[in-house]
Amino acid sequence: MTKTSIRFVASGTLLAISMACSGVTPPTAPSPPAEQLPTPAPTPPPTHIPKFPAISQPARVYIGTSSRYVLYDDGTFALQYSTARNPLFEYRGTYSEADGHIDFSWEGWSAAGPWGASGTLTEDSLSVTYNLIMQLTDFEDEVYARQR
């Protein structure tokens, strides 16, 4: 290699290093104006609308997002779920009610301990709170609206 070639390579290398160290950033392509950005696709409508069976005996019904409580007049209840994967499944038990407060006794249970839930009843809603055992099995506290 000739002296001139070595000087050229060395000065090009020094120039590249000095630009990297100077904090100067190379120019970038401009962003397209906001009106040219694609608009996001609209959210599709829900694919599953909960469907529950008809009530076969006197009861009060409280509707949630994908579930409902059916409080039968005989002191039994059903917590019914309807999902795309499982059209209907339910948890059953008995309940006691006094002064707008309700306690649920479940037929189901967990190896970690008994299921437990309580709630508050008004003319228009049922607010349910689950114990820790049920919360750890994916039950979530919810307010259910009374179906008329």
Query: Mean pLDDT, to the nearest integer, of 92-106?
Result: 97
All structural domains of the chain, each given as residue ranges with its CATH number in brackets, are: 59-147 (2.40.128.20)
Amino acid (one-letter) located at 109: W
For residue 20, give both structure tokens: 């990297």
Q: Is the pLDDT of residue 7 over 90?
A: no
Rounded to the nearest 5°, which phi and psi values hold at 38? -70, 145
**Do 102 and 119 contact (CB within 8 A), yes or no?**
yes
- Alpha-carbon radius of gyration of the chain: 32
pLDDT tier, 120 (very low <50, low <70, confident <90, very high otherwise): very high
Instruction: Report pLDDT digits (tens) over 34-50.
Output: 555 555 556 555 555 66
**Do 146 and 61 contact (CB within 8 A), yes or no?**
yes
